[in-house]
Amino acid sequence: GARRVTIFYRRTKNEMPAQPEEVEQALEEGVEVIFLVAPSKILTEDGSLKLELIRMELGEPDSSGRRRPVPIKGSEFTAELDTLIAAIGERPEVPAGFHVEVGRGNILNVNEDLSTSREGVFAGGDCVSGPALVINAIAAGREAAQSIDRYLGGRGDITEYLVPAGEAMEWLEEVPTGERLATISYLAPQTRIDGLSEVEQGMNRESAVAEAQRCLQCHAIASLGGQTLREVDCKFCGACVDSCPTGALADLATRGLGQPDRVVTTICPYCGVGCQLKLEVKDERIVASIPDPDGAVNHGQACVKGRFGIAEFVHHPERLTSPLIRKNGELKEASWDEALELVAEELKHYTPQEVGVITSAKCTNEENYVMQKFARAVLGTNNVDHCARLCHAPTVAGLVQSFGSGAMTNSINEIGDAACILAIGTNTTEDHPVIGLEMKRAVNNGGKLIVANPREIDLCRFASLWLQHKPGTDVALLMGMMRVIVDEGLLDSAFIKERCENFDTFRESLKEFDLDSVEKITNVPQYKIVEGARMFAGNSPATILYSMGITQHSHGTDNVLATANLAMLTGNMGKPSTGVNPLRGQNNVQGACDMGALPNV
């Protein structure tokens, strides 16, 4: 073999398209890897072989999400070689006359449903994703099969029941809690470089049998690095069950129930995201809640509440399905006619101002409209309200004053295309997991994520910057960032001139928020405030997401106004993937307010 092996690679170690253990094993064996260099010329002279290379530096991310290497002018150098092997990776071979659109590296361009530019042709695997694990290609094949079924007029259900549920063999015993995946031993580095013996030593018989008695597992689990679900903080959303190509992962709640009688398309009733679901119904009971791949917001994703919480709630034994009337100190079941007659009779004994009507942000627009109309037109009272006003009122007061509406300024689907996201006062991956996926998509696309939160939340793992400010100091933090933007000339002067009012007064108010003062108020170091301001102003389109961490304060309206001012100051309004976007805790907060379920309209 060769006495010395050198790999020249144009990116860094973190970007190498190889399994981490393979890279480490090569380094253990003495392979020299020179990073951030690229070959520019092959030289041959008097029988000798030389390779001219140029040093690189990482620039902006490319379409794969990896930072593009950029040559450093004047950094060329030469390496003397005995043998040169070009290892530039895989490249799909697309047959001539196949007439499908391809992109960089001959990779096929496909839509979200894996359809190509040629009618009726779908693609998946390495020819679409580039080099990846085998299980990724298997999963893509399953996804393509679902899309093909829908293309041919089906529902995308390609589930196969090879054996009737009643005839299935007994399930293998569950793996004991805490049992880890079997590991393989390797020859010592010095031993393996001195010979041609097998490097991987395999496993003993006991381990091999144990491994064979379970699914060899897919990327949904392999990517966890052998950790248990508890160790990786699994959200139990069921996405791994949907993706499993072998059926080794199954939903215990629906196993053995057979095919549903009908499928009903609906919207999840929990939070304000509005995920589209398909409820599978059998014998007039919901047996499964499946995220709809055609859902305009969730695209086949759902959180644990939408996936597993609906049937449990609807069919809970303690759920009220008929009115209860208190008789002799005890609540007794009654008919609807009896209950409505009692309410109508009792209301006659009170004046309009003695009656209060409570609606709900969990109700539909129609229900809220009828309820507030009943209060005003029939009972003659303006005492109508709903629970979400407490969290929504600061948003309405602030955003209506700034933009004329208290709603999100942009759609959820735009979040993933933002170049910068400021998430302030929101624990999105916990409270709105589907929106959290859009935020992670933005990061994977090279976008910047700024998390402003007193607590270290899950999003901090994906953030370019975490601003850990004291609770209640949101205004000072945002004003400090805006002070930097104005002082450094990072504002969008054209947008302000055309679209904004009272800018001079606003600029004057920033004088109170010098960085020394803001640091004392917020406990955020000055350099981080500056970094956050530059990051938000320098990466467009930029969007702001917030939740009750902004609104649930005595000065919640001021917090909302500060977010609106930051968006306008940088020109991030009225364009895709920009704006100020409050995330709602209930499914129809906006609708309840728009329908008049408020005392002040």
Q: Which residues pair with 263 in a beta bridge?
A: 280
DSSP per position, 361-396:
TTS-HHHHHHHHHIIIIIS----EEETTHHHHHHHH
362 to each of 298, 387, 587, how far by Cα in Å? 19, 10, 6
Does the pLDDT of residue 218 top 50, yes or no?
A: no
Summarize pLDDT for 569-581 with one digit per residue, the tens.
999 999 999 999 9
31 is a domain residue = yes
The C-alpha atoms of residue 169 and residue 490 are separated, in whole angstroms, by 67
Q: What is the pLDDT of residue 201?
A: 82
Q: Which of 65, 81, 97 marks a domain boundary? A: 81
- Please give the full DSSP string across 39-84, using - where no structure is assigned: EEEEEEETTEEEEEEEEEEEEEE-TTSSEEEEE-TT--EEEEES--
Structural domain contains residue 108: no
Total residues found in the chain within this entry:
601
300 inside domain: no
Q: Which of 81, 114, 144 is the last residue of a domain?
A: 81
Which residue in 6, 248, 15 sits closest to 138, CA to CA?
248
List alpha helices for 227-364, DSSP H.
239-243, 304, 310-314, 336-347
Q: Is 437 inside a domain boundary? A: yes
Q: Measured between alpha carbons, how far is residue 495 from residues 78, 404, 500, 506 in Å?
A: 52, 17, 7, 15
* Separation CA 131–CA 181 (nearest Å): 25
92 vs 106: CA distance, rounded Å: 6
For position 227, what pLDDT does the model report?
56
Encoded tokens for 550: 């902004």
* CATH code, domain with 57: 3.50.50.60
**Does residue 232 lie within any of the structural domains?**
no
CB neighbourhood size of 499 (10 A): 12
CATH code for the domain in which residue 572 is found: 3.40.228.10
132 located within any domain: no
In the prediction, which pLDDT does 15 show? 80
What is the separation, in whole angstroms, between the first and last Cα of the chain? 84
Query: Model confidence over 469-486: pLDDT tens digits?
Result: 999 999 999 999 999 999
What pLDDT, on the 0 to 100 scale, is given for residue 274? 93
Task: Return the top range by mean pLDDT from 187-191, 204-208, 469-473.
Answer: 469-473
The confidence band for 222, taking pLDDT boundaries of 50, 70 and 90, is very low
Output the six-digit token pair for 381. 């009272």
Instruction: Give the residue with greater pLDDT, 210 vs 271.
Output: 271
Query: Given the structure tokens 């006359």, which residue do they identify?
Result: 97
**Domain boundary residue, one of 81, 114, 129:** 81
Mean pLDDT of 371-391: 93
Per-residue b or e along 137-153, where b marks 16 or more CB atoms closer than 10 Å to that residue's CB = bbbbbbbbbbbbeeeee
Residue 112 scores a pLDDT above 80: yes
Q: Are 265 and 277 in contact (CB under 8 A)?
A: yes
Residue 96 lies in a domain: no
3-state secondary structure of 365: helix
Tokens of 366: 């129609």
Determine the Cα–Cα distance for residues 36 and 242; give it in Å rounded to an integer: 40
Range of the domain at 23: 6-81
pLDDT 10s digits, 428-437: 999 999 999 9
What is the DSSP track for 531-580?
Answer: HHHHHHHHSSSEEEEE-HHHHSSTTHHHHHHHHHHHHHHTT-SSSTT-SE
What is the pLDDT of the chain when averaged over all its residues?
Answer: 88
Pair 427, 466: CB distance under 8 Å: no
Residue 560 lies in a domain: yes
150 three-class SS: helix
Contacts of 397 (CB under 8 A, 6+ apart): 406, 557, 560
Average pLDDT over residues 421-444: 95
> Residue 246: its pLDDT value, please?
62
Total structural domains within the chain = 2
| Cα gap 165→167, rounded to integer Å | 5
Query: pTM score, two decimals?
Result: 0.65
Mean pLDDT of 244-261: 69
Average pLDDT over residues 24-40: 91
- pLDDT reported for residue 256: 58
Residue that is written with structure tokens 């007994």 in the block: 170
Beta-bridge mates of residue 284: none
Name the residue among 536, 597, 600 with its Cα closest to residue 572: 536
